[in-house]
Structure 1
């Protein structure tokens, strides 16, 4: 596994290996504020060899959500909570060297890169969610089109998704993304990732099945991509090269997904447009191949939106100078092959990092990935010890 453990320059930071930990909603915040058990969770994975950690989806504004106890980053208390976590991650994942010179100093050579995923759910909210009620605004989306399906872990029964209110002025939300990016810098993150996937707000604007607007934010590919690109401009204004974009062109989740040619046209336009904005090929794009999970979710929810195609083969030609990380159950041997071939710069994994806080160290030392995820504790539950299934997996290789 030598190739997986070579350094890589991402934006302004060098990471020690090509193993990324996916953004994973785990519902361990308290009233949208990060907690001490969350600090331990991220610290364990940094100590366990994650070169790049993407935070769980973090809400940019008070709103309803599909999950209970998810964190936000719209106020100072949340920023302070995240600062404790970023400090712990950097301390756990850092390697130190002494610079030889007239005045010896100690500097960080490598550290686990920790980026914040900026999240807005759009029509995947519900008006009865406590935070949505507290926000005092409706459930917004590009158009007043309800997604099919929908489950809410904290609401009784199966109320399903509702018909949202068309967002009257998208620039208001764009400004909220920028404010969240500013807060992320204050909280000590190394960069931000725009969540443009999984049928949430940015993806809803990109997809013609959920975006039927007739103004400059809808209709043509260029107009549907505008919301995403305008947010990215604001994030880059704050962060420079340290901005990532998460995409899932295969669709399905959240009841989005277009016909194949329209999908190719949309994401084939979006990716180079993203890169053309004076990015010098320094930005990270997190790409997806077809996800078994996304396709399964589509079937379970009675939808057939997933657009099956090889995402890596379809879009990599548009991104010759871009650092592409692939996600979707990529195991070590395949990851080594993909990185060694130059097809991707690195890989992300989710479930293996949940079950193995020391996954990076295990792969590096040839130790088996021998634990399974307890799905009953994946999202925690009110009144249940948040450590269960979260920070209590065995840690063997440190």
Structure 2
């Protein structure tokens, strides 16, 4: 099977083409990675993941809707992640850190945002529609953010996160450019109304992503990647089709010159496309067919709704260098081994404990799924 051939990814070689995509699990201890997270990642390394990408990892204190999301801005977090990377490597896999800034979908009343002592920053002072902070009184939605005066301050935070990730033993970093977070907000003309060099044209709106990638490359060399979702409407982003092609096409043409280890293209998902004002938010289109031609020198990984049979076809045909499975890794610690053995991915998901809960055993719905 083509899925089980090794692949040179940046400066490393991964043992197969089956990746585990970033999956918010909400199990850290006050933003610090802990022992149960280590168990979770090691199970999946042993279960046949050629490359693991961590859950979204915050580059600075932010008011996330996931109050137990991990960070990588603090020495204690670096120590916690180092234990995980060492264990994953010992288990025979490789691991990237997905570095993450929420931008306008933080909340000023969240404890970490209060502790940060800074406003909720975004490209422009435009709130995202929707959202619900269930752990805050009254379950408030998103607020109008403060336009970040100098975006290079956030790029510097991304670079420092990469420095910390390298110290923590990660094999590389994946810039979270999907799902309506800060990179996507800069790219999207509905979220970015700036009139300076960071807004307006596709070239200007792509500047933040490209300058951030260049800063990460200064730290990790060829072991830098980006994940994008051009057909995603989550967190109230999405442009008309031609504008989407113009914007992401420019981004990828320029990113293709940087020597990235891979780009993850997230396909359209109706389940994560919210309905706003009576219609779906995103512009549905074939993301892989539309954007992979821009990546002539950069490996493409495909994510979202990929079946094992389709994954084999994508790699065997040369359409993709590899695939990322998402939710399947939540419910199966051994996705890779099951695919190789021809076994079904048939564990029943525990939705009640998908993201954990205060006062509940964090193992529930996390490390209690059986292997084959």
Write the deviation string for residues 201-259 of structure 1: whole angstroms up to 9, x where unpaired.
Answer: 01000000000000011001111011111110110000000001000000200000001
Q: Hey, what does 1:370 align to over in structure 2?
A: 346
CA contact (8 A) 1:149 1:301 kept: no
**1:200-349 aligned within 5 A:** 200-277=181-258, 279=259, 283-295=261-273, 298-299=274-275, 304-349=280-325
In structure 1, the partner of 2:18 is 19
Shift of 1:49: 0.3
Question: In the alignment, what sits opposite 2:365?
Answer: 389
TM-superposed deviation, 1:320: 1.9
C-alpha separation in 1, matches of 2:9 and 2:168: 20
Residue deviations 1:100-156 (CA, integer Å, cap 9, x gap): xxxxxxxxxxxx120000000000111110000110001110000011001113113
Counterpart CA distance in 1 for 2:179 and 2:163 is 24
Cα offset, 1:283, TM superposition: 2.2
Aligned to 1:179: 160
1:326 partner SS? strand
Q: Tell me how far 1:302 sits from its aligned partner.
A: 6.0
Query: For 1:261-318, what per-residue CA distance to the aligned partner results, in whole angstroms no more than 9, with x for missing partners?
Result: 00000000000101223x2xx52000122123222xx127966320111011111111
Closer/same/farther in 2, CA of residues 301 and 79 from structure 1, 3 Å limit:
farther
SS in 2 for 1:56: coil
Partner SS for 1:389: coil
Give the structure-2-normalised TM-score: 0.98
Contact 1:149 1:302 in 2 (8 A): no
Q: Is the contact made by 2:78 and 2:164 (CA closer than 8 Å) also made in structure 1?
A: yes
The 1-side partners of 2:138 and 2:44 are apart by 35
Question: Could you tell me how far apart the structure 2 residues matched to 1:273 and 1:51 are?
Answer: 28
Range that drifts further, 203-212 or 371-380:
371-380
Q: 1:142 aligns with which of 120, 123, 137?
A: 123
Residue 130 in structure 1 maps to residue 111 in structure 2: yes
8 Å contact 1:249–1:288 — kept in the other structure? yes
Work out whether residues 148 and 301 of structure 1, in 8 Å CA contact, stay in contact via their aligned partners in 2.
no
- 1:170 correspondence with 2:151: yes
Decide which structure has the larger Cα Rg and report it. Answer: 1
CA contact (8 A) 2:256 2:294 kept: no
What is the count of residue pairs matched by the alignment? 372
- CA 1:300–1:364 in 2, change beyond 3 Å: closer, same or farther? farther
Q: Which residue of 1 aligns with 2:328?
A: 352
Cα distance in 2 for residues equivalent to 1:251 and 1:329:
13
Equivalence for 1:43: 42
TM-score (norm 1): 0.92
Q: CA RMSD in A?
A: 1.2
Distance 1:300 1:359, change over 3 A: farther
Distance in 1 separating the partners of 2:254 and 2:162 = 21
Unpaired stretches in structure 2, ≥5 consecutive residues: none
State the SS of the aligned residue for 2:280.
coil
1:348, 1:175 → 2: CA distance?
28
